[in-house]
């Protein structure tokens, strides 16, 4: 093959082999298939996939690829369901950052941990637990695989969220590689003789790169603040006959600051939690429940309650609200729990077995079998964050938008469930989840445990159901935009850029032009910067 016949991708591969390291180029066909889809949809396959092993390799690879006109996308744990890392054009190099998985330092005096961004939330939890330390927000449902970089780029919340907010609220500094290969530090560590600790000294550059979906640069390092591990914890769960009562109670409890976690399962989600297989898992968690208690006797008693109660605590169509209280003393935790109970009862709740939050805290990072439903169905979530006062109006508008599709949903086997979460006292998070039976994507074959998959049969392709889900998602996104809602996992799903007022949009586009003048960092993420 002559030089003129060599494909551009071959030239890119040769440059990386020569100037960086041939071992970082992914060549396995089965592995490569993963990178052309996320949890929700298939996308354009990348021209080349590279898994850097060292921080210095990231900057060099980016510099080489962009100089040759290649776009860059970034993948961490691969848990996006909004097209976050999926290429939109064929001349794309995908960076798999999962090998950047080293914990750089744990500063017990200053309560800051610095990690490479391929580190998972579970890794951090396991490293800090023996030190009796923790992140304030400490992980997601998918934290066994989801990475810090993905959480900071796309929004991560759940564990600790009701009191402490999300991943964005605990990061104090980052290192980011821009499209030109420049290594940009943010926070105090960016200053001469500075160390990570405080993120604002002058304009908050750390905030610039949070929730950017990789559109402004590649995150390689992150410094996160820590807290002492709470010495005590307690749990409470409640049943409500109506959504309105449950939502009002969640908002009241969220505003109070009593809980580290406060969330609602709708009737469909509650019923799924009654599945016998799930009950068996909870029994298997008994050892973790025991170890999590301050005394062996108390642990045995709590574990026995878990087995006896199981998840058979509700009948009928109810909404269940679950709370976790934690603090430095058992008396303070009891007071917080009592406050949450009073608020729940005042809004029509009935206290029930607290199995769900107790089991979740005993083992917060489970294998990701939940990437599929218990019958093998696929799912796709959407997210809106609004002030508590907008919660009921947002829910009503979403349900109104969905109503015309109910007959079609029944015909195509599409169902919906909802998750409601309190965030940092002042924000209500609303997550509609669409579920349908359809052929699996590569990620569904790769991530769950083998024994879990062995008990399922992959559904037949369901293009009608898939198309209906896509249409409904579009309608819900439009509703969220009407409310000016923020969303997790912006990716390429939400019209964030187009929804900004013109003056603010102009500033963001100017920043994009400085960091990525040719528009090569994850094109399509956040919106169309060329418009």
Integer Cα distance of 45 and 34 in angstroms: 9
d(CA 300, CA 293): 9
The C-alpha atoms of residue 404 and residue 381 are separated, in whole angstroms, by 19
Strands (E) across 384-516 are located at: 384-387, 415-423, 427-436
For strands 92-96 and 48-50, give the pairing.
parallel
Tell me the pairing of strands 183-185 and 171-177: antiparallel
Q: What tens digit of pLDDT does each residue of 455-505 get?
A: 999 999 999 999 999 999 999 999 999 999 999 889 999 989 999 999 999
Supply the pLDDT for residue 272: 67
* Structural tokens at position 461: 């392709």
Can you give the pLDDT at residue 303?
43
- pTM metric for this prediction: 0.90
Q: Which residues of 243-262 are buried (b: 16+ CB within 10 A; e: fewer)?
A: bbbbbbbbbbbbebebbbbb
Distance in angstroms (rounded) separating the CA atoms of residues 96 and 74: 6
**Phi, psi values for residue 270, rounded to 5°:** -60, -45
8 A C-beta contact, residue 489 and residue 382 = no
Q: What is the average pLDDT across 404-432?
A: 96
CB atoms within 10 A of CB 274: 14
Mean pLDDT along residues 502-515 = 96
Does residue 308 register a pLDDT over 50?
no
Fold of 232-362: Alpha-Beta Plaits (3.30.70)
| Per-residue pLDDT tens digits for 107-157 | 999 999 999 999 999 999 999 999 999 999 999 989 899 999 999 999 899
Count CB-CB contacts under 10 A for residue 141.
Answer: 19
Q: Where do the structural domains in the chain lie, given as residue ranges?
A: 3-96, 103-228, 232-362, 375-482
Phi, psi of 344 (to 5 degrees): -65, -45
Residue whose token pair is 């690879």:
61
Given a cut of 90, whether residue 296 has pLDDT beyond it is: no
| b/e 360-369 (16+ beta carbons within 10 angstroms → b) | bbbebbbebb
Structural element, H or E, at residue 467: helix 463-482
CATH code for the part of the protein at 375-482: 3.30.300
Three-state DSSP state, 175: strand
d(CA 303, CA 322): 18
Q: How many helices (H) and strands (E) does the chain have?
A: 21, 18
Burial class of residue 46 in the structure, from the number of CB atoms within 10 Å of its CB (0-12 exposed, 13-18 middle, 19+ buried): buried
Q: Domain 3-96: which topology?
A: 3.30.43
Instruction: Label residue 294 exposed, middle or buried (CB < 10 Å: 0-12, 13-18, 19+).
Output: exposed
DSSP letter string over 315-328?
-SS-EEEEEEEEES
The per-residue pLDDT of the chain, averaged, comes to 90
Tell whether the model's pLDDT for residue 301 goes beyond 50: no
Angle in degrees, 0-180, between the axes of helices 8-16 and 55-67, rounded to the nearest 10: 150
Whether residue 72 has pLDDT greater than 90: yes
Here the tokens at position 503 are 């003056």
Q: Which stretches of 221-368 are DSSP H helices?
A: 243-256, 267-272, 276-284, 286-292, 296-309, 330-346, 355-362
What is the phi/psi pair of residue 481, to 5°? -65, -35
Q: How far apart are alpha carbons 27 and 206 in whole angstroms?
A: 35
Looking up tokens 């599409």, which residue turns up?
414
Give the pLDDT confidence of 210-256 residue by residue, as tens digits: 999 999 999 999 999 999 999 999 999 999 999 999 999 999 999 99
By the 8 A CB rule, do 527 and 519 touch? no
d(CA 105, CA 98): 18
Does 371 score more than 50 pLDDT?
Answer: yes
Position 33 confidence tier, pLDDT thresholds 50, 70, 90 = confident
**Which pLDDT band, with edges at 50, 70 and 90, does 316 fall under?**
low
Rg (CA), the chain: 23
Single out the residue of 401, 527, 407, 413 nearest to residue 471, CA to CA. 401
The hierarchical CATH code for the domain 103-228 is 3.30.465.10
Q: For residue 327, list its beta bridge partners.
A: 232
Here the contacts of 474-480 (C-beta below 8 Å, separation 24 or greater) are 475/401, 475/402, 475/405, 476/382, 476/398, 476/401, 476/402, 476/432, 477/382, 478/401, 479/394, 479/397, 479/398, 479/401, 480/382, 480/384, 480/394
The backbone torsions φ and ψ at residue 352, rounded to the nearest 5 degrees and listed phi first, read: -130, 180
Among candidate residues 82, 16, 8, the one with its CA nearest the CA of residue 487? 82
d(CA 124, CA 143): 10
CA 68 vs. chain centroid, Å, equals: 32
């Amino acid at each position: 093959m002559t030089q003129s016949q060599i494909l551009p991708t071959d030239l890119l591969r040769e440059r990386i082999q020569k100037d960086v390291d041939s071992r970082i180029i992914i060549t396995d066909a089965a592995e490569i298939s993963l990178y052309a889809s996320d949890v929700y949809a298939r996308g354009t396959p990348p021209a080349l996939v590279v898994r850097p092993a060292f921080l210095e390799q990231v900057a060099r690879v980016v510099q080489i690829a962009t100089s040759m006109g290649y776009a860059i996308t970034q993948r961490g744990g691969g848990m996006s369901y909004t097209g976050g890392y999926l290429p939109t054009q064929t001349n794309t190099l995908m960076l798999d950052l999962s090998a950047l998985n080293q914990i750089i330092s744990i500063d017990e005096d200053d309560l800051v941990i610095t990690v490479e961004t391929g580190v998972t939330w579970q890794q951090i939890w396991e490293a800090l637990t023996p030190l009796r330390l923790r992140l304030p927000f400490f992980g997601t449902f998918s934290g066994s695989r989801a990475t810090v970089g993905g959480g900071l780029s796309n929004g991560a919340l759940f564990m600790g969220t009701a009191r402490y907010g999300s991943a964005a609220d605990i990061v104090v500094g980052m290192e980011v590689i821009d499209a030109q290969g420049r290594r940009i530090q943010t926070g105090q560590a960016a200053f001469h003789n500075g160390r990570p600790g405080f993120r604002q000294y002058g304009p908050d550059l750390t905030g610039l790169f949070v929730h950017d979906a990789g559109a402004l640069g590649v995150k390689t390092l992150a410094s996160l603040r820590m807290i002492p591990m709470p010495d005590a914890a307690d749990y409470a769960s409640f049943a409500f006959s109506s959504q309105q009562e449950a939502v009002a109670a969640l908002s009241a409890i969220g505003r109070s600051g009593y809980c580290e976690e406060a969330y609602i399962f709708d009737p469909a989600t509650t019923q799924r939690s009654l599945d016998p297989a799930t009950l068996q898992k909870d029994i298997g968690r008994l050892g973790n429940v025991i170890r999590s208690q301050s005394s062996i006797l108390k642990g045995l008693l709590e574990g026995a309650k878990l087995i006896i109660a199981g998840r058979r605590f509700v009948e009928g169509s109810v909404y269940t609200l679950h709370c976790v209280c934690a603090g430095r003393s058992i008396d303070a935790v009891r007071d917080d729990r009592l406050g949450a109970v009073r608020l729940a009862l005042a809004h029509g709740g009935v206290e029930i077995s607290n199995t769900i939050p107790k089991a979740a805290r005993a083992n917060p990072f489970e294998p990701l079998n939940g990437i599929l439903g218990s019958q093998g169905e696929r799912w796709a979530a959407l997210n809106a964050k609004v002030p508590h006062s907008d919660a009921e109006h947002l829910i009503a508008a979403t349900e109104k938008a969905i109503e015309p599709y109910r007959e079609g949903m029944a015909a195509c086997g599409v169902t919906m469930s909802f998750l409601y979460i309190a965030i940092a006292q002042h924000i209500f998070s609303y997550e509609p989840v669409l579920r349908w039976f359809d052929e699996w994507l590569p990620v569904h074959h790769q991530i769950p445990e083998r024994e879990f998959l062995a008990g399922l049969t992959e559904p037949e392709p369901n293009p009608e159901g898939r198309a209906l889900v896509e249409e409904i998602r579009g309608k819900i996104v439009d509703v969220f935009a009407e409310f000016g809602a923020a969303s997790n996992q912006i990716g390429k799903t939400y019209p964030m850029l187009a929804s900004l007022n013109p003056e603010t949009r102009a500033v963001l586009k100017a920043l994009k032009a400085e960091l990525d003048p040719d528009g090569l960092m994850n094109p399509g993420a956040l919106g169309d910067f060329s418009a």
